[in-house]
Structure formats: C-alpha cells, structure tokens
C-alpha cells in the first residue's frame, strides 16, 4: 500500500509502510548511510503528516519484513494479543500519540495494552513525538524486575558496575569493582566485558566476583558478557553464572550475524533458570542492543534503524529479562552522528522498550570520533533520569580502557541520584548502609567509616 501527502503544490509519495517510517524518522546518519532517509525537512514533515493518519491496525496487516522469512516478525505477530489491543484498536498513529499523552492514560492503562502493541506501532508513534513527549510517557510506565534485588521501582535508579580491564587482570578488575562499590554503584549488576572469550578466563572472573559477593553478602548479581554458547558451556562446567548475556537485534538475519537464534536464546534462558540462583526473583537474561546493528550487518531490509531497534525489544520480552541495555552511542557516528542524534535515540529506545514492558537501561556513551562530548552525556543522563530509566553504566572515570569509548562514571550516578532524588535498589541500599558506605538518606559516608571494609577487601585481593 502506498501513501501520499501534499505540502503546498508539492505531493510526496511513499511506496510502502517501511518507506513512510524511514522518511518520517528524525535525521540520523545511519538512515542516510542506508539511503532511506528523507531528502529534505519538507519531505520528513510530509511523511510525519501521512504517518499520523495511518490506522494502528495497518501494522498488523502490513509486516515490514515478511512473516515467512523472518522469525522476529513471526514472534511479533504470533505473540500479539487482540484482547490487549482492544482499547486502542480504533486509533490512528496520531490519535495514539494523543492518547498516550493524555492525563487520563496512567500506568494501569499503559500496562493493560502492553501485549497489544507491536514494536512498529511504537516506533511509528515515537516519530511524531518531541523529546519531552517521550520522557513524559515513558515515566508513566515503570518495569520492575528481580533477581537478588529489585530494579526499576519508581523513584529508583540502578547502576551496572563495569570494571573492565584490557587484559582481564583479576586484581585490576577487583580494584575497579571495589572502587565502584565505595561510590554506591553495582545494584543493577557487576558486569565485565571480557577481553577474551576463553572459557577458563571467563570462569575465573565469574568465580572472583562470586567469591567477593558471598564473602561480603552483597545483594547483587554478576555477569561476564560473553556469547551465550560460552555461558552455556560455563554453566555445564559448574561456573557460578547469575545473569545470561547476549547482544540481540531486530531481524533474524542480524541475529544470525551474532551467531544466535530464538531457539539458542531459549536454550540459554533455560540453562540459567536451571541454576536457581535468584533469591527474590528469576529474571536472569541481560540483553544489549543498539541502533544501527542491523544495518551494520546488512540485515535491515530497508527498515529504518530505530524501527529495527524497537523490534529487538520484542525478542528481549520473550525471555523475561532482568536488564536490557541500549548501548546508544557505541556503534559510532556512522549511525548516530552527534550528541543531538545520540540524545534523541536514547530517549526513543527507552520509550519504545518501556511501552513494550522491557526493563530498559542505557549505556549513555559515545566513541571518540563522534561529534559528541561529556556535556551531551550529562544532558542525556539527566533526561533519562527524569524519564525513569532503570539503570545506567558506572565506569571508572567514564573512560572504558578495554572497550575504548566514553560512558558514565560512578560520580555521574551520584549526581543524577542527588538532583532527582533517586534511590538505589532497596536491598542493595540496605547493604550499603550496613557496611557504612552510605547513611540512612543514601548519601556517601566519609572514608574513615569505610576503612574496615576497604582493608578487608584489600586483603582479599592480595593488595598490600
């Protein structure tokens, strides 16, 4: 089905729904690289006007990627609930935007329609929304998950402590981990990106974190971010695996480029469940995504990068994850050129994920060849904090020395929690208070109060 819209004497024609979505997207370098972006701002406005008139039902009848050839499309179509769709089935995309922003549309209303939404519907409506709209609606849709603690409660913000090391040096990782804990970070998880996929090295890191966690009774969860096949092998060898990690994307072909399928993810999920390591819940998958991943694998099929990204959240939903993280600026300026595009993408991803019931976090980040800086990250950090993001990254000095990119630091987490009055996961915050790291109000105590823990941890690490 084609779509048309006139502006003055000029008429714009869009060949199909995926073309219309691509032309309506806010400007970003990835869509320009793919040759699917609007050629002018006027064409972009025409596409938005046409998109606003599209009935939501159209997205159920016109798949962007054929059902027969893509298992992600099949997942989206087969899991759609007509009953949950009832409340909004009569709306157009423009009407849906107005419904979402209405003061009468509350958390219960958004939760009720979750299983009636598709990623494409949410990608479409997001293209009609300003940044403040994305923030206002996402804030109304908390998503709470549990493993050893509780993440995503309203008024809370968690942090993934990311103590990476370029050679996987155990003492170096342990020192960064301890540094982050002293700043009250680590309630989302302690997660290491290993420099090597060597199974012995992965197991060594898992054992180190688990030994520390048990020694000090830390109510958090660990993860070594390796391929699911390596995690399955580690589980089979008896390694202490908490969260099961995998990068995912929004098309079958893009996932195949990661060496995964829905069946393999199911196997990994069930392997993790078999360990029964959660204490307050059983959400245990950790997924990372990023706009541009499908395009970089030549697996986008002419679909714009934001819509492809939203489809990845349907994959995530299937496995009841503990955390999902859009690594928003990591792929580089070829896909998100500057701070403005990174900011917009982060807010879009958070909005689409939360409305689908995904526990969204964001690695607020950029590569050193992007037209962005730490001020841009401060802006996005603040906006996502207002929007109710579940978690952010905690990287020593905001500079990841292994992955070689810029993210957010332990100090950044202190800032955003302070100015927005956000708390840590309640179980973790109680532990921090018991260890004399914070006071009853969540503020850091002085170094002298933490000295006994520091000395004990240094002994554990073998540091004199």
What is the tens place of the pLDDT at every residue in 138-156?
999 999 999 999 999 999 9
- The sign of the CA dihedral 289, 354, 405, 184 is negative
Per DSSP bridges, beta strands 391-394 and 399-400 are: unpaired
Residue 164 has pLDDT above 80, yes or no: yes
* Region at 357 (left for phi over 0; alpha for psi -120 to 50; beta for the rest): left
The counts of H helices and E strands in the chain are 22, 14
Q: Report whether pLDDT(463) > 70.
A: no
Measure CA of the first residue to CA of the last residue in the chain; give whole Å: 71
Question: pLDDT (tens digit, 9 = 90+) per residue, 40-96?
Answer: 999 999 999 999 999 999 999 999 999 999 999 999 999 999 999 999 999 999 999
CA distances from 441 to 328, 423, 427, 430 (A): 32, 9, 14, 11
Q: For residues 236 and 123, what is the distance between their CA atoms, to the nearest angstrom?
A: 39
Q: At 244, which helix (H) or strand (E)?
A: strand 244-247
What are the structure tokens assigned to 462, written together? 């073998």
- Name residues whose C-beta falls within 8 Å of residue 431's C-beta, 6 or more positions apart in sequence: 217, 218, 219
**Torsional sign, CA 334, 336, 338, 341:** positive
pLDDT in tens, 288-344: 999 999 999 999 999 999 999 999 999 999 999 999 999 999 999 999 999 999 999
Tens digit of each residue's pLDDT (9 = 90 or more) over 92-142: 999 999 999 999 999 999 999 999 999 999 999 999 999 999 999 999 999
115: Cβ contacts below 8 Å, ≥ 6 apart:
79, 80, 81, 84, 357
Instruction: Please report the pLDDT score of residue 92 as a whole number.
Output: 98
pTM as predicted: 0.97
According to the model, what pLDDT value does residue 377 have? Answer: 97
Mean pLDDT of the chain: 96
Distances in whole angstroms, Cα of residue 203 to Cα of each of 56, 168, 389, 443: 48, 12, 31, 35
Find where tokens 């245990």 sit.
284
- pLDDT band at residue 459 under the 50/70/90 scheme: confident
Does position 11 have pLDDT exceeding 90, yes or no? yes
The pLDDT value given to residue 464: 55
Mean pLDDT, rounded, for 346-372: 97
Tell me which DSSP letter residue 68 carries: G
What gap in Å lies between CA 38 and CA 10, rounded to an integer? 15
pLDDT for 454: 74
SS3 for 100-120, per residue? HHCCCCCHHHHHHHHHHCCHH
Cα dist. 129→95, 364, 390 in Å? 12, 21, 21
> How high is the pLDDT of residue 91?
98
Query: How would you write 342-368 as a 3-class SS string?
Result: HHHHHHHHHHHHHHCCCCEEEECCECC
User: How many CB atoms neighbour CB 225 within 10 A?
Assistant: 20
Q: Is the pLDDT assigned to residue 223 strictly greater than 90?
A: yes
pLDDT at residue 289 in the model: 98
Q: How far is CA 135 from CA 92, 94, 128, 139, in A?
A: 21, 17, 13, 6
Which residues make beta-bridge pairs with 7? 10
Annotate 390-421 with b (16+ C-beta within 10 A) or e (fewer).
Answer: bbbbbbbebebebbebbbbbbebbbebbeeee
**pLDDT reported for residue 283:** 98
Residue 443 DSSP label: P
For the cut 90, the answer to whether the pLDDT of residue 1 exceeds it is no
CA distance 405 to 340: 18
Tell whether the model's pLDDT for residue 452 goes beyond 80: no
Cβ pair 241, 235 in contact under 8 A: yes
Between strands 399-400 and 405-406, the pairing is: antiparallel
Is the pLDDT at 31 greater than 90, yes or no?
A: yes
Reported in sequence order, the residue ranges of 390-462 that DSSP labels E, i.e. its strands, are 391-394, 399-400, 405-406
| Distance of alpha carbon 6 from alpha carbon 11, whole angstroms | 4
Given pLDDT bands bounded at 50, 70 and 90, which one contains residue 453?
Answer: confident
Largest CA-CA distance found in the chain, in angstroms, rounded: 78
pLDDT the model gives residue 370:
95
**Is a pLDDT exceeding 70 seen at residue 392?**
yes
Give the containing element (helix H, strand E) for 324.
strand 323-327
Give pLDDT, residue 197: 86
Beta bridge partners of 160: 189, 393
Beta carbons within 8 Å of 432's beta carbon, 6+ residues apart: 184, 424, 438
Can you tell me the distance from the alpha carbon of 340 to that of 346, in angstroms, rounded to the nearest whole number?
A: 10
Span 167-194, average pLDDT: 96
In the block, residue with structure tokens 């009250």: 184
- By residue count, the chain amounts to 464
Interatomic CA distance for residues 262 and 284, integer angstroms: 16
| Integer Cα distance of 17 and 34 in angstroms | 17
Question: Which DSSP symbol is given to 28?
Answer: -
CA 406, chain centre distance (Å): 17
Provide the token pair at 151.
Answer: 């993440």
How far is 50 from 56, CA to CA, in rounded Å? 13
């Amino acid at each position: 089905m084609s779509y048309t819209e006139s502006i003055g004497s000029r008429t714009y024609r869009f060949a199909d729904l995926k073309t219309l979505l691509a032309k309506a997207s806010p400007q970003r370098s990835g869509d320009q690289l793919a040759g699917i972006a609007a050629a002018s701002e006027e064409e972009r406005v025409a596409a938005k006007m046409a998109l606003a008139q599209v009935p939501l039902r159209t997205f159920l009848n016109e798949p962007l990627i054929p059902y027969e050839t893509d298992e992600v499309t099949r997942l989206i179509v087969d899991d759609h609930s007509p009953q949950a769709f009832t409340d909004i089935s009569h709306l157009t995309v423009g009407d849906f935007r107005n419904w979402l922003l209405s003061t009468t549309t509350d958390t219960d209303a958004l939760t009720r329609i979750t299983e009636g939404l598709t990623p494409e519907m949410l990608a479409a409506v997001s293209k009609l929304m300003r940044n403040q709209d994305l923030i206002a609606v996402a804030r109304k849709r908390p998503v709470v998950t549990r493993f050893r603690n509780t993440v995503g409660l309203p008024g809370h913000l968690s942090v993934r402590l990311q103590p990476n090391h370029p050679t996987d040096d155990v003492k170096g990782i342990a020192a960064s981990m301890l540094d982050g804990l002293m700043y009250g970070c680590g309630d989302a998880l302690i997660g290491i990106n290993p420099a090597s996929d060597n199974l012995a090295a992965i197991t060594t890191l898992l054992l180190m974190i688990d030994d520390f966690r048990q020694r000090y009774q830390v109510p958090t969860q660990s993860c070594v971010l390796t391929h699911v096949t390596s995690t399955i092998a580690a589980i089979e060898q008896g390694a202490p695996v908490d969260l099961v990690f995998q990068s995912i994307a929004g098309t079958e072909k893009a996932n195949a480029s990661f060496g995964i399928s829905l069946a393999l993810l199911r196997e990994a999920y069930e392997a993790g469940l078999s360990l029964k390591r959660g204490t307050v819940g059983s959400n245990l998958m950790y997924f990372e995504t990023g706009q541009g991943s499908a395009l970089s694998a030549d697996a986008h099929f002419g679909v714009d990068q934001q819509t492809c990204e939203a489809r990845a959240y349907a994959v995530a939903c299937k496995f009841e994850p503990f955390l999902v993280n859009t690594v928003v600026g990591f792929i580089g300026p070829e896909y998100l050129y500057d701070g403005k595009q990174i900011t917009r993408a982060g807010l879009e991803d958070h909005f689409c994920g939360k409305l689908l019931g995904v526990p969204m976090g964001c690695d607020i980040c950029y590569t050193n060849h992007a037209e962005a800086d730490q001020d841009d990250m401060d802006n996005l950090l603040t906006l996502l904090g207002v929007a109710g993001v579940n978690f952010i990254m905690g990287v020593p000095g905001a500079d990841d020395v292994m992955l070689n990119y810029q993210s957010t630091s332990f100090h950044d987490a202190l800032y955003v929690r302070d100015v927005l009055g956000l708390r840590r996961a309640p179980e973790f915050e109680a532990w921090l208070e018991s260890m004399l790291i914070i006071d009853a109000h969540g503020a850091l105590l002085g170094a002298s109060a933490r000295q006994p823990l520091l000395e004990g941890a240094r002994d554990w690490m073998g540091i004199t």
